[in-house]
Structure 1
Amino acid sequence: MDELEIVQSDHTVEVRLDRPAKANALSACVVEGLLDLLDECERRRVRLLIFSGNGAHFCAGFDLGGLQAQTDGDLLWRLIRIEMLLQRIHHAPFLTMALAHGTVVGAGTDLVCVCALRIAAPGTSFRMPGWRFGVALGTRRLVARIGTSAARSVLLEGRRFDAEEALRIGFVDRIAPGESWREEIRKAQRAACALDSEATASLLCTSVADTRSEDMASLVSTAGRPGLKSRLLAYQEAARRRTGLAKPEVLSTADPKPANLVKQ
């Protein structure tokens, strides 16, 4: 699809979110395209799947565009599909990698969290505001990644945390400038092929706790409360007042200064 830039080589697939005008926010079409891509990666026995984003930001999370025309049910279904996508990546039988830069918000931060390998460019910031509108998306996975205390601090306050803090608490593996990402990818390719595909899949399966049922139940029980659309509209209005934008369509307050990246 037009909003995903996919590059395939040998046993590696690189997918770049390509909605720079909307900070690569996750529309319903993008989510479905990524789910289809995961199906294809499993059929082709891919060894490494890499996520990155074109433009100034990796991913601004849930796309709020057209919010007024959607019902609570529409929005709940979109969130369920995002959770299904995140679960597929988290439990993929091949190695996954996120290359994050700029402002990363909400489901974009979740997308980084579920990847086995996580690299952030200098100046990257992360935020998970979902609990501000009463949605439990990825909470257990975040706790597993950075621990209970750090996760509660990030989620209760809905605050940004920068790349240095992300490295310190274990949210990312390394901070690396964009010009070094090709070398990071080569390292990941070597790791992805160190074992045969069956051994890799078994290792990845046994080293991740399977909380898929609990995670989906938490999402549905929180997002399924009546008034989801109203809560998102209130969040959007608060973002409008904070940023001065007439109608914010993403969950971020986009940083005006892009990260120093090179075209990969």
Structure 2
Amino acid sequence: MLELTITSGLAIVTLQRAARGNALASDLVERLLDVLPRTWCDPAVHTVILRGEGKHFCTGFDLDGLDRQSDGDLLYRFVRIELLLALLWHAPVRTVAIAAGRTWGAGADMAAACDIRVACSATRFRFPGAGFGIVLGTRRLAARVGEDLARRWLTEGTEISAQQALVAGLTTDIVEPEDREAWLAAQLLEPKVDQRTIAALHRASRADLRDADLAALVRSAAKPGLRERIADYASRPRQGATS
């Protein structure tokens, strides 16, 4: 479900649910919440890289077994994902997302939360959560692309190409898979500052609004009928098993 390798200061975290588009099942989220902080407890680690096995980076919230989950179950899962996004946003190390294929929903939010956000030309981003009333990762997306564009993407359910994402600031580079290793070697050199300084720079450059973000998520998900709203959204045209 998840593989961690550490080499030359790089902690590479690979999502290993390719058959499900690396969608975020509860146990995968819990593994990420456990593994990520442990990577930056290693003083030798200066960069954490998130990537997905197979064609897709992460297709978002896993809907498998939706009919067996209560509104409360789903709310708890969204809360855990919000905590994961905040963890990445405030990490005391450099964070990198290697987006590919479908980078949707909470997967797109994970990418947006990272410092460096790489896509290939075939990558497509979508933020469908607003379609079933969920406010997740919104402020961080707005910080990347601006408030107006973020609201437009969220309310219109826009599918965003890699080139559009680059122009808007959602991604920082477009790198094809065959060029990725060379890019990583050239671009991810050891920073000139330590983890404590990186954490201090994050605190100085971005307000700590974790509580407000979590409250916004809970308010949006607390309306009764969450499961039905998600099921209705997933049944619409162009929605697959994950969103």
Using the TM superposition, name which of 75-84 and 194-203 deviates more: 194-203
| Per-residue Cα deviation, 1:111-169 (whole angstroms, up to 9, x for no partner) | 10000001101111100011100000011111111101211111110110100100101
Q: 1:183 & 1:206 partners in 2: Cα distance?
A: 32
Q: Runs ≥4 in structure 1, deviation > 3 angstroms?
A: none
TM-score by length of 2: 0.96
1:255 is matched with which residue? none
Using the TM superposition, name which of 52-61 and 179-188 deviates more: 179-188
Say which of 2, 11, 14 aligns to 1:13.
11
1:206 is matched with which residue? 204
1:257 is matched with which residue? none
Which secondary structure state, in structure 2, belongs to the residue aligned with residue 198 of structure 1? helix
Which residue identity does 2:24 align to in structure 1? L
Which residue identity does 2:91 align to in structure 1? A
2:158 is matched with which residue? 159
Which secondary structure state, in structure 2, belongs to the residue aligned with residue 41 of structure 1? helix
2:69 is matched with which residue? 70
Aligned residues with identical type, % of pairs:
41
Shift of 1:109: 0.4
**2:103 equivalent to 1:138:** no
2:171 is matched with which residue? 172
Q: 2:42 & 2:213 partners in 1: Cα distance?
A: 28
2:54 is matched with which residue? 55
2:94 is matched with which residue? 95
Q: 1:171 & 1:14 partners in 2: Cα distance?
A: 21
Contact 1:48-1:188 within 8 A present in 2 as well:
no
Say which of 209, 220, 223 aligns to 1:222.
220
Q: 1:52 & 1:105 partners in 2: Cα distance?
A: 14
| Per-residue Cα deviation, 1:178-218 (whole angstroms, up to 9, x for no partner) | 1222233224431x422123222212332222221111010
**2:233 equivalent to 1:249:** no
Change (3 A) 1:197 1:188: farther
Q: 1:189 & 1:164 partners in 2: Cα distance?
A: 22
Q: 2:154 & 2:20 partners in 1: Cα distance?
A: 24
TM-score by length of 1: 0.88
Q: 2:170 & 2:238 partners in 1: Cα distance?
A: 27
**2:113 equivalent to 1:121:** no
1:27 is matched with which residue? 25
Contact 1:58-1:104 within 8 A present in 2 as well:
yes
Say which of 40, 43, 51 aligns to 1:42.
40
Contact 2:40-2:46 within 8 A present in 1 as well:
no
Contact 1:20-1:56 within 8 A present in 2 as well:
yes
Shift of 1:41: 1.5
Change (3 A) 1:188 1:84: farther
Contact 1:61-1:108 within 8 A present in 2 as well:
yes
Shift of 1:231: 0.3
Q: 1:216 & 1:188 partners in 2: Cα distance?
A: 33
Shift of 1:43: 2.1
| Per-residue Cα deviation, 1:40-69 (whole angstroms, up to 9, x for no partner) | 113213211000111111100000000000
Which residue identity does 2:165 align to in structure 1? A
Which residue identity does 1:129 align to in structure 2? P
Q: Which runs of 5+ in 1 are unaligned?
A: 252-264
Q: 1:211 & 1:185 partners in 2: Cα distance?
A: 31
Aligned residues: 242
Q: 2:127 & 2:238 partners in 1: Cα distance?
A: 17
Q: Which runs of 5+ in 2 are unaligned?
A: none
Which residue identity does 1:235 align to in structure 2? Y
Q: 1:31 & 1:24 partners in 2: Cα distance?
A: 11
Which residue identity does 2:48 align to in structure 1? L
Which secondary structure state, in structure 1, belongs to the residue aligned with residue 98 of structure 2? strand
